[in-house]
Structure formats: structure tokens, C-alpha cells
Structure 1
Amino acid sequence: MAIRFSHFRYRTMTLAFRLLLLTTGLLFGSFAQAQLLEMPIRMAEPSSQGQAMARGEASTLALPFWDDFSGWGSIPDTAKWQDSPNVYVNDGIAINPPSVKAATFDGVDVNGKSYSDDNLAYGPTDQLTSCPIDLATAAAVTYANATDQTNYRNSLYLSWYWQKQGNGEQPDAEDSLRLEFLDASGVWQSIWSVTGEVDVTEEEWQYETIQVPFALWHDQFQFRFTAYSRRTANFDSWHIDYVYMDVWRTENNSIIRDRTLVTAPGSIFGDYAALPRHHFDPEQDVSTVSTRLDNLSASNPFLFRLFATLTNDDTGEVVDELQDFTNFIGQEQISVAMAAPDGDSIISQLEKQDSALHLRLFVRLVSNDTLLESEDAVTGSVGYDTRNSLVANDTLSRQFSLDNYYAYDDGTAEYIAGMATVGGTVMYEYDIRESDTLTHIDAYFPAVKGNNETPTIQLLVLSALDDTEESILSTSTITLRAASAVNTFFRYPLPEPVVVEGPIYIGWRQQTNSFIGVGLDKSSDSGPRMYSNVRGDWVQNNLVIGNLMLRPVLDQVAQDTTVTALPDWEEEWFRVYPNPARNECYVEGNLKQVQVVDNMGRMIAIEPSKITPQRYRFDLSSLPRGMYYLRAVSMEGNLQTRKLILID
């Protein structure tokens, strides 16, 4: 079975060519030189932390086994998967997965490193391994009727969905994704594989079912998916989702009564995720938004209700109810449009706050899904598996800001986009609605593993891409600051404020052959606004899809003031320790508010205890292990976030 959806992306750059660009910095041909490159992103954590996230005691599981990867964190759930941190759980690289988020095999480890320095090395890269599963208990079940016994022993099936490429890179012909089962003697048996030659498009999802032979029903059974490819600088992508194994299934009964949200809602501000508050126009800036729903039991139409609520993320106050309607869904996936928010309601929230306004759109699907159904092997009665909730994939949220900057990106990077040659220039177009003063550039330059330089770049602001002196609004040489946490922006000041209006271009010129890239958000696409130049010709981007995490910061009150340094609040003005944490962590800083947020942007109802006026303690013992964020608001009203890892 294939799930087919339209998408507009095709990747033409070959692996060998990308390898040449990234490992040598040599460029051949003026067209190739001026093209943006992209590569996977992982936070540069210490290797010991990566190992800590990978391991923990692997408990033996009972049937059924189920995971749709919609829970917390960017690594697979360690309660279900063992030694698998190099597989990247995310909601931006796969295209329209069966439920929100998928597991991506992208050719780099949890620290963003290649698996080998040998360009000719070929072999296993990312691997997703289940915890041990007790099948001996299932094997001991007996039936008086021989036919029932035979049917039962032939009824254990593993199923999953897979996608080749998605929003990532296209696997080469010799690349493959493989499935293996562990037998009772501890030997991995090859069961299934697919190669990069398979004739499917980058947006199709393929459904697979594999019978688990009775001979493998032992008490330490495991299965694993492994990607095989070149082990250096290989960024080709495979995706896995909705893994399910249980008895009393057949090859054809793929039905799971689960209705899910698939993608986060689009932006209420149209092309933008953030606007300067004083540029917001309630007549033209609010936009209808849509989200996708999936019915994994397409032959079973169901009645659903969809709620969409826009709230003030700072106060919790409801701003507008965008949607509350009832409908039927019978097909596999549909796109549901929601009304535009009321612009006047947003204005009234702005009038209540002196600083930035952060809005959050919550979308909740009410489908009467509860827990995964499971049939008792002995009695045949159908019950519910309390370990596997089907409700987790029914809620999504997204934040939008009215602050002092423009942004196309949603604040989360799935990739890095940039160049790898001296003199290469990358520029990003913004249309400034009204005359204003540009004072800073916000940018997220993730650390690239293997590059130990502290690079400098020439930060540029241009009024036009015509290579004239008159078009240069600002230029300065800056040293990039290494991000201390994932998706952390730094605010780089311009030498002098610049009055701008209409189209402007912000970006950088490289001073090294090492790869320098900015975070790339895949939630939407502003690719045509990206330009690059190496030999004097500006080339409009037609390869990279997404949004650069590069933002112009505006300040109406700044006139002739020269900005020479970062204000104090733009430094790292709050601490989190220990991190990784187990059952508690401490936060220090002069803060107005600090909150725990999960990986889907949902606030966690945990109130900190105040130890001193600038020191707080969070009790985290009730939270599942994984990745979270601490979002803090300073006394001046500025916002910063820190990643928080919870380990066993």
C-alpha cells in the first residue's frame, strides 16, 4: 500500500558532488559554485551525553509493540528502543507521515558526526533497535483445536511505514534500508531490505508487513532497522513511522483505528512566523491556516471534531476560537482549512502588553481514540493496552510572535544551509513594510562537527543585488558565536543603525573554505528569497527548500545611536543545571517567568519552587525521559530558551 501526496521537491545534487564540496572546498563550474548546500543538523553535545541518552537499562517488553514517534524528544523512546540515539525523531524532514513526527535515518550520529573519515568506506550507519521483547510467553499459549493453534502461530506480524528521501536527500542506488530479526542464538537474521533504486517518489509512504516465524518466538527477541550507505558525509534520508507488532494479525489486516494529526498548522501571519509588532496590520496580516488529518483505518469513516484555539502564550488568555466543527473522514489524509483569526482581537492583546506578544495556536482532534486495542491470546477478548495511548498524536501547537523582527522560520532547524568556499555570499530577502531602523541581525549558526575553527564572516545588508556601492547598507566582520543549545539565536549588532524600507537582503560573505551554514527550517518554504554569489553572478536558489534562520531586527526608537556591543540581556542570562538531569534541575537568573515546554511546544504544568529570588528548583520526576525546553522571560520582557535532557 502506498500513500501518495503531491510535493514539489526534487534533489539533483549527487552524493559524490556533495562530498567534493564539503570535504575539499573545491568548486568546478560557475553554476555549481553559486548553489546553496544543505546538510543534517544535530546539536553538538559532548559524546558522553550522547551515550547517556542512548543507554539505560533495556527492559524486556511484552506484546503489543507500538510506536508512532509522536512523543517527547528528538531521540527514540528509550523505553522501546535500545542504543538508537543516532536516529533522529523530528516533524520536518519526512513529508506527511502517517502521524505527526517520524524517525529519520540521515547518515550522521547524534553528535552530527559522520561514521568514518574514509571517503570510500561503505556500511551500516544509523540503526534503530527495539528493546528485547518476550515472545516466549506468547509461544506458550496453546489451543485445543489444532487449526486454531496453527492460525495463532502464524499470526504474529510486524508492520511499519517507510519513505525514501522526503524533505531530505535522495538515497543513491547502492544505499539501502534493512530489517533484521534476532534469533534465540543471538544471531541477526536478514529479513527485508529496500535499495535506493526503488521506483518511488520522495513523498510516497510505503506500508510493509512481515510475519515473525514461530521459530523466532523466544524471550529476548529483537528487531532492528539499519541504513547502509557511504559512511562519510552521506546525508541521504530514509524515514520510518508507525511500527506495530502483535499476534492475531494477518498480512492484509493493516487496520489500526487511529485518527491522527499529521502536520503542525500553517502560519496565521501568512508567509511569516513573526512580525514587528508596530508593523502588524490586522486587515492584511491574518491568514487562514490548514492542518492535515490522517485516518489509518481509511475503510472505516469516522466522525471527528476539530478544535483550534489561539491563545496569548504569555498569559494563557484565549484570543480567538478559529475552529470548532464536526465532519467525517473516510480517505487516508485530508487537509482541513481553518478560519483566519480575528485581527482586532490580536490588536487588543497588543494593547495590553508593552513588550512582545507571543501567540500559540492549539489544534486538537477529538476522535474518540483512546488506547491501542489488543486481543488476548487465550480468551480472544479485545482489551486496551494502557502502555500505548493513541491520544498523543491528536494535539499540536505552534507559536507566532509580534515582536521587533521579521521571521519566515518557525524557530526549529531540521537542516543547515550554507556554502563552503572563500568569498561565497548568501543573501536572504525581506520586504520591510514601512520605514524603520535596522539595528541587529538575529541568526542561528549551528556548530558543524569536524570544523574546529572559530569562523569569521562578513555580515552584509544590501538594498539590491546589483553589486554597486550604493546598495551596501551595512558591512562588518564578526566572529560567529557557538550556539550553547539547539535553536539558539544570537543577536549580532550592526556597526550603525540603518533606515530601511521595501526589499532588503541580509546575509554573509565567507572568509574560509570550511562549510558555514545557518539553521534551515523545513516547515514551509521561502527558498526563492535565497540568493548566492561566488563569481560575480547572483543565483536564485532552486535547490534548498525551507526557511533560513536569519532575521532582521528593527527598532523604531533607534535613530543615530551607534550599537557597539550586545546588551547584557542578549548574553546567556540564565543557567540550567544539572543538564542532562534525572529527577530535578535548577534554574538561576533574574527572571520574571520560567516554564517547561515539551518538544511539540506544549507547556508542562510544573511550577518551580523558589529557593532564592534568583534560584528555582523544578521537580521533574513525573515526566517521561526525553528532551524538553526551559523557556525564560527576563525582568525586561526578553525571551530565551534552553534545551533540557531528562535521562534515567
Structure 2
Amino acid sequence: MKLKIRHILISIFTIMAFTGSKGIAQEFVTGLPSRIIADRQSVPPPVTLTLPFFDDFAYRGPYPDPALWTSRDAYVNNHLAIAPVSWGVATLDALDEHGTPYDTANRNAKVWADTLMSHYIDLSSYQPGDNVVLSFYIQDGGAGFLPPSGDSIYVFFRNDNGIWERMWRSGLQSTRDFVHVMIHADDSRFLHKEFAFMFVNRATKGLNNSQWHIDYVYMDANRNITTNDINDLAITDASTTLLQRYHSMPFRHFIRNPSQYLAPSLHLTVRNNTGNSAVIPYSYTLTYNTQTLMQSNGNSNTTAQNAGTNSLDNIPAAAFGSIQADTFTINGTYNITDAVNTQFTNNNTLRIPYHFGNYFAHDDGTPELSYFVTMHQSYNIPALTAVKYNLEVPDTIRGFSILLPQEVPIPRNKEFGIRIYRDIAVNGGQDDEVYEELYIYPQFNDTIFEMVHYKLERPVALPAGTFYMALVQPAGGFSDSLFVGLDISNNATQERYFSVVGSWEPSLLPGSLLFRPIVGPDFILSAGELAGQQQAALFPNPTGGRLYIPGNMPADKAVIYNSTGQVAGQAVPADGSIDLAFLPPGIYYVQLLYRNSSYPVQKIVRE
């Protein structure tokens, strides 16, 4: 399987720092450094289309529709844009056609980046004056950071000589609003059988957030370029959870107190993309298997070119009484009736799954940014980030899920740990640590925003009540600024605390970490996760001087670091071992190197 790894690089220009009570910038957000997409589609063969051409990206993606587009650089999603024209957008960013960084060496040079190119469109039957027009909506930044100054996006048309002509360009708008653009295409040089158009952004190499969101691409004849002739009613958004406090949770905990966890209402947002006020009929259905748990309808009163958000009744708590399963999905279907436009109907329906799983989640599984804390400058104090959860019944913590974005270079050696607390020293409490596990290393799945699951070495049984799960960046500095996916659509700031100077502070950053405790019965890891968590260890540890290397770990050299992160020495393996007799007793970190790669750092005690 060919993998498409979409990185977004880190820059001092795209990082926001938040200062804690100690007066030091300790919490940070930056652009999401990676998206991992399993590339299961082949490049579509060229085809020739006819007008009208229309795509509002109202489908799950993550690729553009291959029946319309020849390229797959764009990322189709429903979470990176703000207030789209209809649900779903295509995002162009600073990544090459394989989804990897264009250049990590030169942060200031510009490069032609992502491309969204149409198939050929046969315009040979049209004449100049037929008012063939391409239109689209575009937004810079959206839910992420704005593109750096000087970055821009272009539209090119393919003329009858096969040459791409630049027809439109836009730089940074800084408004985060969608802008409507219309471009004439009825010059004679474009009226041929193999016309095509493409969007391409020019981005700063090495910078991470040259993001542009495209919506509602429409091309047809007999259009008036002086007026917005879009006439469509569309869904733009709906509730992504049935709950409050959590986005998802185990059903056995929910059902003990459903009124505490059920959201008081749901919402459906519809947009009137016409020039007149409109009453938009809507309906929604929430089902479990074949059982309808909630069904209702109503009308949304909207004004021209504006959206309206409607409050909807949630499932009544009593309706859950017949469900016997512990992990299941409720399917939500939201519909509107569009009497204005019966041609483009994808945006009239939005389907959303609502999961009750074996985990607690404040997040919705789709990060927009990355979160990290910086360690104390001495690196002698571990950095901790703790998230608060609550058990309604006694349960067992079996593991956790986490999304660690792939920084550049990929942080495979950023060792981290996990702690579980019954209480922490905030709001009059005291630290009550019940479990710690160290020497955990980042893993990455090959599916878009797929979190990695880790099993704890020892299950942790807890009574009902509050507990905290904390991410540990150990002293020594090897794991400083470990990135975690941040969902800014669901705010659980009040449940998050961090410590970089030995005491806890409340988080100041809005959003929810993609960091979830897994509870209940034992669970099965994927083959890749299992292999990644069976890291072969150097032995014996502690050691009197000679350290042996497992046979499945070929190595050319070993670099040894002391507890402050300084290089204490190097050794060349011989006969499957390295000699550390030259080191005084103490704690060290050993990293094996092999050719152009390296193994995760391992903590060693030299006796």
C-alpha cells in the first residue's frame, strides 16, 4: 500500500504561545504537522466532461471526486473551514503531490504547492458571448492559522494551445470569510474540446499553514458575472455529538446518569445561498439499528446569503432503555427540502454517526491544530499534561488512544510516559498517583486521523469517581515539545492541566486533546500497533558495563547521553554488545544508529 503522509511543518511564525502563572510561555498551539492518508485510489484516467460542472465537496472524501478532478492533492473535509457555503470543502496546503513536505531547508523561498485540476471540459460548442463563467468560494486560514504573508492562490485556464494561463490570483485576506469569485471563460481560445481549469497555491517552503479552503465550484454558460447567480439551499453543519461533557463515552457510564451527559439540544445549520429570504423545511432522524429513537421536522426562516442555526430536540433519556449493547453507533440523518435547486442535491443531506465506545473522548477525532508544552529550561523536571475524566461505575483502565502528529523530522524517538491519578494538586486536592508507565514511543497509523491505541502493561482498576490521565515528557529534554492533536471544535479546557515547574496549572488553550483512556474489557491491538509496542530492549539493565543488543536490532554506532541531554560518549558495537565501562555510574540514554536511521532512545542505569 502506498502511503500519503501529509505533513505541515513548524515555524516560529505560526506558533501561538500562552503564558502560565509562572510568567513563562509554557503552552503552545501550532498548525497540525501531519495528516496520514492511506492512498487506496489510483490516479483517474483523463475523461472529457460537459457543462455544467459542479462540486461543492459535500461528501466524505478525503479525496476530491475522481469523476470531476484529475488530482488528489486537495483534502476534502468538513472541519477545517469556518461557515462554509455548504458542508464539505477542499483544502489546499503547503504539501507536494505525495503529501510530503516540499522543503525543510529553506523557510523563505516560495514553491508551487497543491493543485486541484479538473478533467477536460468540452467547450467547443460554445461561442464568445455565451457567458461561460467559472465561480467558486474561497477562504484563507479557516479554523487553522492564516497563510503567511506573500503566499497566494491562483486559478489557471488551459487554452487551445495547451498552455495554462493565469486568470486570477489572491493573496492573504485575513478575514477568514468566504469570498465569492467569478471568472469569464468565453474567450475563443478557451472554447475548445480540451479546456480545463485548476487551482494551485504558491506557498512558503517549510512553513506549515498555507491553507486555502475552496467550496461550491460551479461552471456553466449563460451566467451573469455582475451578479451572484447561485441559487441553492444547503446544510452546512449539524451536531457531531449527542452528549455534553464528552464527545463520546462508554454506554454503561452514560446510562447510570443520562440526564447529566445528554446535551440539552442538538443543532442543524442551513444556509440560504439565494438572493431572497426563504423558509427551508428540515427533518432529522436518529436511529439505532432499525429502531427510531428520535424523529422530527421543522422550518428554518433564513435571509438572503445567510445561514440559520436551528435548535433540535435530543433523544429523550428513556429511549435508551431498550439498548442492551455497550458499544454501538446511533446514526443521525439530517435533510432539507430545496425547492429552489433540484439539480445539485448532495448538500441537502448530512449523515453523522454517534458512537458509544470503550473510551472517554472530549474530542471528535479530527484535529485542526497541535498542542504542546515546553519543558523547564533545565530539563531536570518532567513536563506533564493531565486530562480529567469521571467514572460513573467502577471500571478498569486498559490503555489509551492518542494522535501524535508527525513533526518534521518524525519524532519516533520522543519517549513519553503515562500517569494515572485519582486526584491532582489543584483546587485544594493532593497528587494521588496510582500508576506510571514510562518508555513509550510514538507510533503512527496509515489512515487519516487514525489514533494509535496503546495497552498499559498493567490494567488499573479504579472506583467510581474522578481520575486524571497524564502525558509525561520525562526529564532530560529528549521529548520536549511533544505534539498532540488538538480539536478546537470541542472545548474541554476546563478539564486540562499542565505542569512544567513542578506544580499544576489550569490550561489556557481552548480545545480538546486527542488523548483518550480506554476502559472495560481487554481489547485487541492492530498488528502494527502490537509490533510497535514490542520494542526490543538493550540488556541487562541495570548494567555493570557491557550492554547487549538484541539480534533483531542491527546497529553501526551507539550514542550515549547523560541525564541533562549532553553527549556522554559513543561506542561501536562489537560481537552484539557495546561497552559502557568508560562511564561513571548513573542514568544514561542510549540511542543505536543504523545506516541513515535510528532506534528509539532507551534509558539505561550504569551501576
**TM-score range normalised by the length of the shorter chain:** 0.7 to 0.9
Distance (whole Å) between structure 2 residues aligned to residue 424 and residue 30 of structure 1: 18
2:358 pairs with 1:392: no
Task: Indicate if the aligned counterparts of 1:303 and 1:367 stay in contact, CA closer than 8 A.
Answer: no
CA contact under 8 A between 2:119 and 2:196: conserved in structure 1?
Answer: yes
- Aligned to 2:320, the other structure's residue is in SS state helix
State the shift of 1:230 in Å. Answer: 1.2
Query: How far is the alpha carbon of 1:101 from its aligned partner?
Result: 0.9
Pair 470,118 (structure 1): closer, same or farther in 2 beyond 3 Å: closer
Mark the structure with the bigger radius of gyration: 2
Superposed, which structure 2 residues align to 1:231-250 within 5 Å?
231-250=205-224
Structure 2 partner of 1:405 = 359
Matched position secondary structure for 1:35: strand
Q: In the alignment, what sits opposite 1:364?
A: 335
Map 1:499-518 onto structure 2 (within 5 A).
Answer: 499=462, 502-510=465-473, 512-513=478-479, 516-518=482-484
**Matched AA of 1:157:** V
Distance 1:59 1:342, change over 3 A: same
Distance 2:346 2:524 in 1: 36
2:148 corresponds, among 172, 177, 180, to: 172
Aligned position for 1:143: none
Contact persistence 1:310–1:319 (CA under 8 A): yes
Q: Report the alpha carbon displacement of residue 369 of structure 1 after superposing the two structures with TM.
A: 6.0
Q: Distance in 1 between matches of 2:181 and 2:368?
A: 27
Equivalent residue, structure 2, for 1:474? 435
Query: 1:41/1:65 Cα in 2 relative to 1: closer, same or farther (>3 Å)?
Result: same
Q: CA deviation at 1:219?
A: 2.2
Q: Confirm or deny: 8 A CA contact 2:399 2:456 kept in the other structure.
A: yes
Residue in structure 1 matched with residue 69 of structure 2 by the alignment = 81
Q: Counterparts of 1:307-318 in structure 2 under 5 Å?
A: 307-312=283-288, 315-318=289-292
CA distance in 2, matches of 1:450, 1:60: 41
Residue 461 of structure 1 is matched in structure 2 by 420
User: Could you tell me which residue of structure 2 aligns to residue 377 of structure 1?
Assistant: none
Work out whether 1:42 is the aligned partner of 2:30.
no
CA apart distance, 1:393 = 1.3
Distance 2:361 2:451 in 1: 14
State the identity %.
23
Counterparts of 1:242 and 1:357 in 2: how far apart (Å)? Answer: 34
Task: Return 5+ residue gaps in structure 2 as ranges.
Answer: 1-8, 530-607
TM-score by length of 2: 0.74
Match of 1:551 among 498, 512, 516: 516
Amino acid at match of 1:283: S
Counterpart of 1:346 in structure 2: which amino acid? F
Misfit runs of 4+, over 6 Å: 420-424
Which one of 425, 444, 451 corresponds to residue 402 of structure 2? 444
For 1:236-256, what per-residue CA distance to the aligned partner results, in whole angstroms no more than 9, with x for missing partners?
A: 321111011111111233233
Contiguous gaps of at least 5 residues in structure 1: 1-12, 22-28, 140-149, 373-389, 559-566, 575-648
Checking the alignment, whether the CA contact within 8 Å between 2:32 and 2:368 is kept in structure 1 is no
Q: 2:550 matched to which residue of 1? A: none
Change (3 A) 1:398 1:268: same
Residue in structure 2 matched with residue 190 of structure 1 by the alignment:
166
Change (3 A) 1:308 1:161: same
Alignment of 1:272 with 2:272, yes or no, is no
CA contact (8 A) 1:266 1:290 kept: no
Structure 2 residue aligned with 1:99? 86
Cα distance in 1, alignment partners of residues 444 and 33 from structure 2: 17
Q: Does 2:120 match 1:132?
A: yes
Mapped to 1, the partners of 2:195 and 2:525 lie a distance apart of 51
Find the residue that maps to 1:232 and give its secondary structure.
coil
Counterpart of 1:485 (choices 431, 444, 447) is: 447
Partner of residue 525, structure 1: 491
2:318 partner amino acid: D
Q: Give the structure 2 partner of residue 581 of structure 1.
A: none
- Paired with 1:524 and 1:447, the residues of 2 have a C-alpha distance of 19
TM-score normalised over the length of structure 1 = 0.69
Distance 1:414 1:261 in 2: 21
**Closer, same or farther: CA 222–256 of 1 in aligned 2, 3 Å:** same
Q: 1:358 to 1:207 in 2, by over 3 A?
A: same
Picking from 276, 285, 302, the partner of 1:329 is 302
Instruction: Report the secondary structure of 2:24's partner residue.
Output: helix
Is the 1:460–1:508 Cα contact (8 Å) retained in structure 2? Answer: yes
Aligned length: 499
3-state SS of 1:107 partner: coil
Greater alpha carbon shift after TM alignment, 267-276 vs 459-468: 459-468
Whether the aligned pair in 2 keeps the contact of 1:37 and 1:419 (CA below 8 Å) is no
1:70 Cα deviation after fit: 0.9
Shift of 1:156: 1.6
Moved more, 107-116 or 514-523: 514-523
The 3 A distance-change label for structure 1 pair 186 and 460 is same
CA distance change for structure 1 residues 551 and 472 in 2, over 3 Å: closer, same or farther? same
Q: Displacement, 1:364?
A: 1.6
Of 371, 387, 394, the match for 1:429: 387
Higher helix share: 1
Which amino acid in the other structure matches residue 509 of structure 1? V
SS in 1 for 2:126: helix
Q: 1:210 aligns with which of 156, 177, 183?
A: 183
- Matched residue SS, 2:49: coil
Q: Deviations over 1:536-584 (max 9, x none)?
A: 46554445x54322112334xx8xxxxxxxx56334599xxxxxxxxxx
| Counterpart mapping for 1:243-322 below 5 A | 243-280=217-254, 281-287=257-263, 288-297=265-274, 299-312=275-288, 315-321=289-295
The structural deviation recorded for 1:168 is 1.1
CA contact under 8 A between 1:405 and 1:554: conserved in structure 2?
A: yes
Distance change in 2, residues 1:450/1:289 (3 Å): same
Once residues 283 and 525 of structure 2 are traced to their aligned partners in structure 1, the CA distance between those partners, rounded to angstroms, is: 37
| Distance change in 2, residues 1:60/1:357 (3 Å) | closer
- CA offset at residue 508 of structure 1? 1.5
> Over aligned residues, Cα RMSD in angstroms?
3.3
Contact kept, 8 Å, 1:414 with 1:519, in 2: the verdict is yes
1:184-208 superposed Cα distances (whole Å, 9 cap, x missing partner): 2233222222212x3x422x11111
Paired with 2:149 and 2:360, the residues of 1 have a C-alpha distance of 41
What residue is the counterpart of 1:156 in the other structure?
A: 132
